Amino acid sequence: MIERKTTIALVTGGGSGIGRSICLRLALKGHKVLVVDLDLNAAQRTVEEVINNGGQAEAYVVDVSNNEQVLALFNNINEEHTIDVLINNAGIAHIGNIEQTSESDLDRIYNINVKGVYNCILGVIETMKTQKRGVIINMASVASSVGIADRFAYSMTKGAVLTMTYSIAKDYIADGIRCNCISPGRVHTPFVDNFLEENYSDNKEEMFEKLSKSQPIGRMGNPDEIAAMVDYLCSDDAAFITGSNFPIDGGFVTLNN
């Protein structure tokens, strides 16, 4: 019997929220998961969950906005592993219009949401070209496709993620590399809970309901629903799909008018 090669999937921001769910889902499907996060303790907690569920995982810490750090980490990883799948999930949010966005705000969100994606793709692209295969999935947002109030800087960065996806898909299709992105609407993660606690501590339940109903389907998404799409796009069933954007938004983009 031919032994099937274990696929190596690297997930940034894998310590919590959507990233955590992606790691658990991919490990369940037989991938060895490299959990990358700025918070090593969070990454290790995800690794423990994966291992406790019978999967394989390793934890790594890196600041995705730091080019030197990222390339050093990926060079070290590439000596031991062949990265087959890259999930660019790490990202941060910012609330405010242009007048409420300082230059330092703009630089901070650009460095993580845009430069972070650039750094990580740069870290794997040569190896993927050499092996003539690879899957890259970037986490965009509904904000990359439609106007959302008070999301000036965030929308800018997610629009860049969307168009970077198109460029990578176009430039490396002949190298057997597929690149797609996922654009979630509001997803119920610890970030949402923390946001409500910090800004609406007196009426959290009311605001949670309001945010939930901004999706036509009437609720927020679940991180596992995003992870399911990642799982599909990584699989051979999606071998004909590249250069595509997948909104998972409860009808937000197409039905909210």
Quick: pLDDT tens for 186-207: 999 988 888 788 878 888 899 8
- The pLDDT value given to residue 2: 40
The token duo for 149 is: 């109030």
Report DSSP letters for the chain, one per residue: -PPPPPPEEEEETTTSHHHHHHHHHHHHTT-EEEEEES-HHHHHHHHHHHHHTT-EEEEEE--TT-HHHHHHHHHHHHHH----EEEE-------B-GGG--HHHHHHHHHHHTHHHHHHHHHHHHHHHHHT-EEEEEE--GGGTS--TTBHHHHHHHHHHHHHHHHHHHHTGGGTEEEEEEEE--B--HHHHHHHHHH-TTSHHHHHHHHHHTSTTSS-B-HHHHHHHHHHHHSGGGTT--S-EEEESTTHHHH--
Q: What is the mean pLDDT of the segment spanning 6-26?
A: 97
Tell me what the pLDDT averaged over the chain comes to. 94
- Among residues 110, 154, 172, 232, the one annotated as catalytic is 154
How does residue 6 score in pLDDT terms, banded at 50, 70 and 90? confident
**CATH classification for the domain delimited by 8-185+222-250, as one of 3.40.50.720, 3.30.70.1230, 3.50.50.60, 3.40.50.280:** 3.40.50.720
Q: Whole-angstrom Cα distance, residue 120 to residue 61?
A: 13
Query: pTM for this one?
Result: 0.94
Q: What spatial distance separates the first Cα and last Cα of the chain, rounded to whole Å?
A: 56
- The pLDDT value given to residue 1: 37
Return the domain boundaries, the chain: 8-185+222-250, 188-220
154 is annotated as an active-site residue:
yes
